[in-house]
């Protein structure tokens, strides 16, 4: 089990490095929570509900495309202004 966890973490890091070479910027769950003004748990619940899609499928942490978060947040602000 331990070696599977290590392999899983390694693969997640490889995916991150591949995406970074494509000039994508990533945000951690805590950073997304700060942008949205909510808790990290609320961000995880948004992922579970399908409202947010992380760029990785890791069970211990999420990484989000900064552009997607910015777009989501701007749409959320527009809805709240109505």
Q: Which two tokens stand for residue 32?
A: 């997304």
Residue 28 scores a pLDDT above 80:
yes
Q: Please report, rounded to a whole number, the percentage of residues in the chain having pLDDT higher than 90.
A: 48
pTM of the model: 0.67
Residue 62 scores a pLDDT above 90:
yes
Residue 44 scores a pLDDT above 70:
yes
Q: Are 56 and 16 in contact (CB under 8 A)?
A: yes
* DSSP H stretches of helix in the chain: 2-20, 29-36, 40-48, 66-81
Query: 44 or 4, which is more confident?
Result: 44
Radius of gyration in angstroms for the set of CA atoms belonging to the chain, rounded to a whole number: 14
């Amino acid at each position: 089990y331990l070696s599977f966890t290590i392999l899983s973490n390694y693969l997640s890091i490889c995916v991150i490095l591949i995406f970074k070479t494509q000039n994508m910027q990533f945000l951690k769950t805590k950073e997304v929570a700060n942008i949205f003004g909510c808790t990290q748990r609320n961000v995880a619940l948004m992922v579970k509900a399908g409202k947010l899609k992380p760029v990785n499928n890791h069970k211990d942490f999420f990484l989000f495309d900064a552009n997607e978060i910015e777009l989501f947040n701007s749409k959320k602000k527009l809805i709240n202004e109505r």
